[in-house]
Amino acid sequence: MYRVDNEDLNEQVYRRLREMIVHRELQPDQKLLQEELATQLGVSRTPLLSAFAKLEREMLVKSVPRRGYFVRSITLKELLDIYEIRLRLETLGASEAARKCDNSVLEALMEKTDHMISLDAEMLKAKFPEYDYEFHTLIMKMSGNEFLVSMVGSFNLVTLGNITGMYRDPRGSLFEHKSILGAVSSRDCELAESAMYSHISVAKSRIEQYSKDRLHEAEER
Amino acid sequence: MYRVDNEDLNEQVYRRLREMIVHRELQPDQKLLQEELATQLGVSRTPLLSAFAKLEREMLVKSVPRRGYFVRSITLKELLDIYEIRLRLETLGASEAARKCDNSVLEALMEKTDHMISLDAEMLKAKFPEYDYEFHTLIMKMSGNEFLVSMVGSFNLVTLGNITGMYRDPRGSLFEHKSILGAVSSRDCELAESAMYSHISVAKSRIEQYSKDRLHEAEER
DNA sequence: CTCCAAGAAATTGTATTCAAAATATACTAA
DNA sequence: TTAGTATATTTTGAATACAATTTCTTGGAG
């Protein structure tokens, strides 16, 4: 019999570091001092290095040989590149989710979305990022394609850690989520796909707009 | 001044292991004995573990805590899931490549493709997998989206290691490659996208057909 | 005062070590 | 024999150790 619960230090350290990066406890471009981090996490450098290797392939850190590991900072171009990919992958996921839709998961997600809508502005702003990550992950899970889950998952993590300050009012997102869920529950693949497409397009335009504004600001000074 | 050439053991070991898996020197589901592999590669277990961590996120190995690392075997469903994703990602890549196309790379690739066509059947069969990997990678590079390069790259590696025996005559692929290149060089995004779409669709159907045949065979026995 | 060089300190990359867990082996009892 | 258990061996997970490299510091020289 296998022990599925078993989680080695590698994995724990990996998860914790990932969290620290996404939550900005570790700043972009910050050098990851191995001894310091190891002490802080109460482990040796060995599991840390394996965690770094994973995070590297997930674009959350970068390695400069003989210089160490650094939190990877994402440029605007890269962020848009990621959205271009999410546009392709998450539409696929939504379409497949509609095909294979599991009602129990779907209902729970609908309830959660309604619950979010009922929150007041401040509370919503605080809880939205986590919820948003969960929403997108669950849709991908419904698709039954594990690769989608893992890829979209890491893109969303990168996104999460990098769009601080460019968030729009989350309420709009929530209504978009509801239409996606509606399309999925009615098993309409094409509708689900297009609902997801516009949802992500909106977010992408928002980022483009934000970057244009910042450029403008810079010019005016 | 940075030393870009610098490649630490981690990276060397990672590359070598990846090669060994794709070339089937390490069989699917085979347990990766750390001490043995380390000795064989002339390193200690430390860099090996970092390499494993990377390969794990690349779906080439899987970790079973306290039991070790194993070469990941891909099921037919997973292979088809991968093709579904490639269909989405590589069409995006082809379209962007057509938009930003760099003629020097393109011409080299065209020549290489023509050269491949001129080879005799046996030679072609031997050299095709490597060439195919390069073709798809270069198209993604032309797109200018680094994430596409790395994602499609690892999918192609997984594919490469798992479609042994289901290869069709590569000559057909080469002609499809030529139409993709044609579309890219004429900067026609939509045509490039659809050419890539049908190219990957053909490969996908081939796999579906193969799996049906195998099922049939099994029933007849 | 600034720039550079030499030496000291810190940090990384990698090997080695050791404890804990898993696997294999040998022995005993039915 | 065969199953089950105790013991030995192997293997993993993780800390420690150490050499090589980078970074910091200090002390001139211009």
B53 CB neighbours in chain A (<8 A) are: 10, 50-51, 53-54
Partner-chain contact A6 B66, CB within 8 Å = yes
Contact A50 B51 (CB under 8 A): no
In which residue are the tokens 């996104």 written?
A159
Query: Residue A164 has what pLDDT?
Result: 75
Would you state the pLDDT for residue B101? 87
Please name which of A164, A158, A157, A154 lies closest in space to residue A210, comparing C-alpha atoms.
A164
The Cα–Cα gap between B158 and B154 comes to 6
Q: How confident is the model at residue A5 (pLDDT cuts 50, 70, 90)?
A: very low
Residue with CA nearest to C12's C1' atom: A66
Which of A10, A88, A92 lies nearest to residue B53, judging by beta carbons? A10
**B57-68 per-position pLDDT tens digit:** 999 999 999 999
> pTM, whole model, 2 decimals?
0.92
Angle between helices B121-143 and B103-118 (to 10 degrees): 170
- For testing the chain B interface, which of A4, A63, A85, A156 should be mutated: the one with the most B CBs within 10 Å? A85
Interface test with B, best of A50, A75, A148 (most B CBs within 10 A): A50
Q: What is the pLDDT of residue A2?
A: 30
Tokens 């099922």 identify what position?
A: B215
Pairing of strands B61-64, B68-71: antiparallel
B119 to chain A nearest CA, in Å?
Answer: 36
From residue A165, give the alpha-carbon distance in Å to each of A63, A159, A160, A162, B197: 27, 12, 11, 9, 37
CB-CB contact of B152 with B136 (8 Å): yes
B92 contacts on A by Cβ (under 8 Å): 84-85, 88
Rounded CA-CA distance B129/B84 in Å is 20
In terms of CA atoms, which chain A residue is nearest residue B143? Answer: A81
CB-contacted nucleotides of strand D (7 Å): 11-17, 21-23
Region A143-156 average pLDDT: 96
Chain B touched by A15 (CB under 8 Å) = no
Nearest to B7 among A7, A10, A65 (CB): A65
Percent of chain B with pLDDT over 90: 81
DSSP state of B169: -
Q: How far is the CA of B15 from the C1' of C16 (A)?
A: 24
Q: What is the pLDDT of residues B180-211, one digit of tens each?
A: 999 999 999 999 999 999 999 999 999 999 88
Q: Tell me: pLDDT of A221 over 80.
A: no
Residues of B in contact with A7 (CB under 8 A): 65
User: Which nt has its C1' nearest the CA of B68?
Assistant: D12
Do A151 and B51 count as a contact with CB atoms less than 8 A apart? Answer: no
Q: Which residue, among A163, A156, A139, A143, has the nearest Cα to A28 in the 3D structure? A: A163
Q: What is the pLDDT of residues B138-159, one digit of tens each?
A: 999 999 999 999 999 999 999 9
Per-residue pLDDT at B3: 33
Distance A4 CA to C27 C1' (A): 33
CA A135 to C1' C20, whole Å: 40
State the ipTM, two decimals: 0.90
- Asked whether residue B1 carries a pLDDT value surpassing 60, the answer given is no
B6 touches chain A (CB under 8 A): yes
Asked if the C-beta of B65 comes within 8 angstroms of chain A's C-beta atoms, the answer is yes
The first and second tokens of residue A54, run together, are: 């994973």
pLDDT(B4) > 60:
no
pLDDT score recorded for residue A211: 84
Task: Say whether A147 and B85 touch across the interface (CB within 8 A).
Answer: yes
Q: Reply yes or no on whether the pLDDT at A3 is more than 60.
A: no
Q: Which residue has the tokens 């309604």?
A: A114
Phi, psi of A216 (to 5 degrees): -55, -55
Q: Report the residue of chain B nearest A50, measured CA to CA.
A: B50
Q: What is the spatial distance between Cα A44 and Cα A68, in angstroms, rounded to a whole number? A: 16
pLDDT in tens, A47-97: 999 999 999 999 999 999 999 999 999 999 999 999 999 999 999 999 999
Which residues in B lie closer than 8 A to residue A146 (C-beta atoms)? 78, 81
How many Å apart are CA A152 and CA A133, to the nearest integer? 10
Q: Is B54 in contact with A53 (Cβ distance < 8 A)?
A: yes
B210 neighbors B166 (Cβ within 8 angstroms): yes
B115 has pLDDT over 90? yes
Determine the distance between A13 (CA) and C8 (C1') in angstroms: 33
Q: What does the pLDDT read at residue A6?
A: 52
Q: Could you tell me if A51 lies within 8 Å of chain B, comparing CB atoms?
A: yes
Interface contact B142, partner A, CB < 8 A: no
State the Cα–Cα distance between residues B85 and B204, nearest whole angstrom: 11
B6: left (phi over 0), alpha (psi -120 to 50) or beta: beta
What domains appear along chain A, each with residue ranges and CATH number?
9-71 (1.10.10.10), 76-220 (1.20.120.530)
Q: Looking at beta carbons, which residues of chain B come within 8 Å of A147?
A: 59, 78, 81-82, 85, 155
| B55 in Cβ contact with B46 (< 8 Å) | no
